[in-house]
Chains A and B, each alone.
Chain A
Amino acid sequence: MLRALHRWPGLAGLVLVTLLALSGAALSVFPAIEHLAAPQAASTLSVGELATRVQQNYPGVEQIRRAPSGRITAYWFEGGIPGAAVIDPATGAGVAPADASASERWLVNLHRQLFAGDTGRLVMAAGAGFMLLLSVSGAVLVARRMGGWRNWFGHARGGTAARLHVELGRVAVVGLVLSSLTALWMTASTFGLLPDEARLPRYPAVTSGETGMAPDHIAALAALPVAGLHDLGFPDPNDPADAFTLRTGRGAGYLDQGTGEVLAWADAPALARVSDTVTMLHTGRGAAVLGLALGLAALSVPALGLSGFVLWLAAWRARPRIRGNAAAGRAGTIIVVGSESGSTWGFAATLHRALRDAGQIVHVAPMSAFDPARYGAARQILILAATYGDGAAPAPARGFLERLGRATALPDVPVAVLGFGDRSFPAFCAFADAVAQALVANGWTMLLPPDQVDRQSPQDFARWGRALGERLGFALDLVHQPVRPATHELTLVSRRDYGAEVQAPAAILRFAVPRAGLWQRLRGRGFPRFQAGDLLAVLPAGSPVPRLYSLASARGDGFVEIVVRKHPGGLCSGQLVALAPGDSIRAFIRPNPGFHAAGGRAPLILIGAGSGIAPLAGFIRANARKRKVHLFFGLRDRGSDFLFAGELAGWQHEGRLARLTIATSRGAHPHHVQDALRAEAAQVLAMIRTGARVMVCGGRGMAAGVADALADILAPAGLTPALLKAEGRYVEDIF
């Protein structure tokens, strides 16, 4: 909802708000120039003294005006010719031409009314309204993204466009809110919607009939400092019925030209002063520095607009396309999708198409639109639910469980739940499980037992489709090709080979980080940030299915490093170990936030075997803050496949690695990492008691062995691996 309040006004008002902001930014320099260029009056100078000085220089003076910037302008007639000049208050003489430059007038007309009179004013006011709406909704979104207003200036995450959008927006928002609010006030004032008009009173019926009093002898003018003046009109000396016209910040009235007496006076309404202040804040006239600051804030608008547009475009491109979606009331099969990303929607589209091909009438809806009361013709409901991070519901599905609880169950319409998630997270498909439980608790019947799709696996999905088709009585062949992220070309910089002597050839491959232009980075097409533990998805020649390798480096290291062990007959590993420096591969980064070392001072127990050393080596490489790290490393032979041997020694020397335990499986005393763990049980338990986090990377068998060993080690302390997992203190990356 809030996102829509930000997105749609942003798109609709993109051009208008940008025009408004750019013209405003250009105008913001004029008050500063004017303030510097215009001679300022001494604070002790009175309007009476100033008027007399001007009158001595220009006997035909008709009016003097003071702009909020302090600039004083006089208008006169000399021999029937009109004249005007900016006045030096110290002398009363003209020093510069009076009228605004054509460029400034052009900009003002553009900024204020698009050269289209009152219609243009209303359009520009709408632009200011858009800007206000965008600023406020944007601020709330930033606070939400940062995890609260307190973290307003916290570290912004995401791609280049997202970070640019947040980082510029959170600084500029104050200026943009001030500019847009004051703009709306000024528009209301211009259209007479505010009772803020300082008007002259009725002209007096009677004057003294005398003429000729010098302004500096008129008490009301002698007592008025120049700073309080708006304008002063001079009377016609040949017309005794004429009078001085005075406007100040406090009001307006007429003064007798023979006696100086105040003939009539009207106080300005209280709102007039508010409007004066609002005008000063908006234009910077009288507050030039503020004006420049607002101009700078406005300059961010084109960048905000462009980055926002890029973000929207990327999301729009990734949106699911469901063709021929039937109406909810007509459909026999209802597909309900809860997903934050487009990937689950892609599966939904495949399912929709396959069911339609099988002759079904199918309706697809997001979880936020789930409404059983409308499903009059439904025979079954299929729920596809994604899970994020630690078991949380995806944003569009929040509130789904509550809605489910309120809705009346349709006992004749069985439901199937398919969870989408990542088995490497502790709470794999937890949200889907919660949905299935809630359905049963609310009296729904299940069509199929709950099932899961791990990491967008097409095989898992096809298997579920076969089960579903069997249950429905027709063949359902779900062929889903997940949408792959754009790949990058990575060029090999260097390679180090190990393990040939022990029949376990492996290599540490180091690739250069691909360079991307600014436009690519803005569109999110640059090579993303990554850190050790994230995955490099490599597309081997001859297969569309990417193979995943744990990264041993972070973006900050300036290279992409993986460890590859050659599997007999392995397509991808075979191609990778055959690479020579200068050769390149196609790959993309897949974030793996569940297997990051995370911040904090808690000690780390890293356990890895073979090529599973890769992310662990990366964690140690990144451990500049020297938190306590104990590495258990299983290999075959110290002399052959001791990956990172030199680096590990160096890191130990630097304090990045506190302790290294090696387990070798060949030789006189064959020994695995789980054996090494048991041998150092006391040490391991002590570290876990002080809050240590256990991170395991390697093959399935090794991980199972480690889990068993840990269970034994933890038992005396009343702890279990499951307990540690629940706390996020025991994570595995298994291949």
Chain B
Amino acid sequence: MKSPLAALSLTTALVFPGLAVAAPVTFATTLNNYGGDGAYLALYLTDASGSYAGTLWLAGGKSKYYDSLSGWYRATGGDPAQIDGITGASVGAGRTLEITLDLADALFDAGYVLHVDATAEDMRDSPDDVAVPLTSEGAGQPVPGRRYVATLQYDR
């Protein structure tokens, strides 16, 4: 799932010093066979102080269920401006969500943390199913999730 709009939105949402240098980064989120309907996923960043920095992707079509992505919803209040142009379909059990974004180099090794919140109908809410710092060394290393996510991996 490549989206030029996503990169645009992110670069306009996040204002960083020395943003000039950006490169494509691919995020691959593979789900477990958790035995349920398609999962809603929110991929977002917090900065070194733990404050919300921006959303990378929101998988899941119906906004009425977004407050079950509880960490993301707390950070944004469900603000539609945060996800304008960076939403897609929910992700089935066992499937992989792959997104590629132009991400500023300044976001790496600077204390930014990538969070994945997940939920599925009639199943638990799973805020911070994955929470992993964005680092140069971490790139290419699969990270296990807690409930819905089997692994998450980002590649620069």
The reply to whether B146 and A233 form a contact with Cβ atoms under 8 Å apart is no
Give 1 or 0 for each of A143-155: 1 = CB within 8 Å of chain B CB: 0000000000000
Contact status B35-A233, CB under 8 Å = no
Contact B125 A192 (CB under 8 A): no
**Is B67 a contact of A199 with CB atoms below 8 Å?**
yes
Q: Which of A75, A105, A192, A197 contacts B124 (CB 8 A)?
A: A75
Q: B36 to A105, Cβ gap below 8 A?
A: yes
Asked if B77 and A82 make an inter-chain contact with CB atoms under 8 angstroms apart, the answer reads no
**Given known A-B contacts A75-B124, A233-B70, A99 and B37 have beta carbons under 8 A apart:** no
A202 at the interface (CB under 8 A from B): yes
Is B74 located at the chain interface by the 8 A CB criterion? yes
A191 to chain B, nearest CB (A): 8
- Among B61, B64, B75, which residue has its beta carbon within 8 angstroms of that of A118? B61
Tell me if A424 counts as interface (CB < 8 A to partner B).
Answer: no
Please tell me if A341 contacts chain B, counting CB pairs below 8 Å.
no
Docked complex: A60-109 residues within 8 A CB-CB of B: 62-63, 75, 77, 80, 82, 84, 99-100, 102, 105, 109
**Nearest chain A CB to B122 CB, angstrom units:** 6
Looking at the assembled complex, report how far the CB atom of A472 sits from the nearest CB atom of chain B, in whole angstroms.
70
State whether A99 touches B78 (Cβ < 8 A): no
Q: Return chain A residues, CB-CB under 8 Å to B61.
A: 118
CA gap between A75 and B124 in the complex, in Å: 6
Given A82-B146, A84-B124, A190-B62, answer yes or no on A99-B35 (Cβ-Cβ < 8 Å): yes
CB <8 Å contact, B64 and A197: yes
Chain A contact-residue range equals 20 to 34
Residues of A83-139 whose CB lies within 8 A of B: 84, 99-100, 102, 105, 109, 117-118
Q: Tell whether A77 pairs with B70 under 8 Å between CB atoms, given A62-B124, A190-B62, A192-B63.
A: no
Contact B89–A117 (Cβ < 8 Å): yes
Contact at B124–A82, with CB atoms within 8 Å?
yes
A117 to B37 CA separation, bound complex (whole angstroms): 11
Residue of A nearest to B64 (CB): A197
Q: Interface digits, A184-214 against B, CB 8 Å rule (1 contact, 0 not)?
A: 0000001110000101101100000000000
**B123: nearest chain-A partner, CB-CB:** A99
Q: Tell me whether A63 and B124 are in contact (CB under 8 A).
A: yes
Residues in chain B near residue A191, CB distance under 8 A: 62
Complex CA–CA separation, A197 to B73 (angstroms):
15
* Shortest Cβ gap from B34 to chain A (Å): 9
Contact between A99 and B67, CB atoms less than 8 A apart: no
Q: Which of A80, A84, A117, A200 gathers the greatest number of chain B CB atoms within 10 Å? A: A200
> Is B95 part of the binding interface, using a Cβ–Cβ cutoff of 8 Å?
no
Q: Which residues, 3 to 52 on B, are CB-close (under 8 Å) to A?
A: 35-37
Scan residues 95-132 of chain B and give those whose CB is less than 8 A from a CB of chain A.
Answer: 122-126
Instruction: Find the A residue at minimum CB distance from B128.
Output: A236
B117 to chain A, nearest CB (A): 12
Residue from A63, A77, A102, A202 within 8 A of B77 (CB atoms): A202
- Collect the chain B residues with CB atoms within 8 Å of residue A674's CB: none
Asked if A245 is an interface residue, CB under 8 A from chain B, the answer is yes
Residues in A neighbouring B64, C-beta threshold 8 A: 190, 192, 197, 199
Complex interface bits, A520-561 against B, C-beta within 8 A gives 1, otherwise 0: 000000000000000000000000000000000000000000
Beta-carbon contact of B124 and A100 below 8 Å: no
Residues of B close to A199: CB separation below 8 A: 64, 67, 78
Partner of A80, one of B122, B123, B146: B146
The interface residues of chain A lying within 8 Å CB-to-CB of B63 are: 192
List of B residues within 8 angstroms of A82 by Cβ:
124, 126, 146-147
Q: Contact: A192 with B77, CB < 8 Å?
A: no
Alpha-carbon separation in the docked complex, A283 to B126 (Å): 26
Q: Contacts A75-B124, A117-B89, A199-B67 given: A99-B36 contact, CB under 8 Å?
A: yes
Asked whether A63 lies within 8 Å of B146 as measured between CB atoms, the reply is no
Smallest distance from the beta carbon of A264 to chain B beta carbons, Å?
Answer: 10
Within 8 A of A (CB), among B54-73: 61-64, 67, 70, 73
What's the nearest-Cβ distance from chain A to residue B11, in Å?
26
Q: Give B120's nearest chain A residue, CB to CB.
A: A99
Docked CA distance A77–B78 (Å): 26
CA distance A102 to B93 in the complex (A): 13
Contact of A102 among B35, B62, B75, B123 (CB under 8 A): B35
- B55 CB, nearest partner CB in chain A, Å: 16
Report A-chain residues with C-beta under 8 Å of the C-beta of B78: 199-200
Report A26-67 CB contacts with B as 1/0, cut-off 8 Å.
000000000000000000000000000000000000110000
Q: Give the docked Cα–Cα distance between A102 and B37 (Å).
A: 10
**Within 8 Å CB of A233, what residues of B?**
70, 125
Structural contact, A77 and B37, CB atoms closer than 8 A: no
Chain B, Cβ-Cβ closest to A192: B64
| Residue pair A203, B146 in contact (C-beta under 8 Å) | no
Q: Which residues of B contact A190 (CB under 8 A)?
A: 62, 64
Task: Give chain B residues whose Cβ lies under 8 Å from the Cβ of A109.
Answer: 37
Bound Cα distance A62, B125 (Å): 9
| Complex-state Cα separation, A449 to B125, whole angstroms | 85
- Complex: how many Å from CA A117 to CA B63? 15
CB distance from A543 to the nearest CB of B (A): 70
Complex CA–CA separation, A118 to B37 (angstroms): 13
Give the distance in Å from the alpha carbon of A200 to the alpha carbon of B71 in the complex: 12
Contact with B along A214-251 (1 / 0, CB 8 A): 00000000000000000001000000000001000000
**In the complex, A69 Cα to B122 Cα: how many Å?**
13
List, in ascending order, chain A residues with CB within 8 A of B73's CB: 200, 203
- A contact residues around B125 at 8 Å (CB): 62-63, 75, 233
When C-beta atoms are compared, the residue in chain A nearest to B144 turns out to be A80
Chain B residues proximal to chain A, CB less than 8 Å = 35-37, 61-64, 67, 70, 73-75, 77-78, 89, 122-126, 146-147
Kindly list 4 other residue pairs between chains A and B, CB separation below 8 angstroms, not including A82-B147, A99-B35, A203-B75: A82-B146, A99-B36, A100-B122, A197-B64
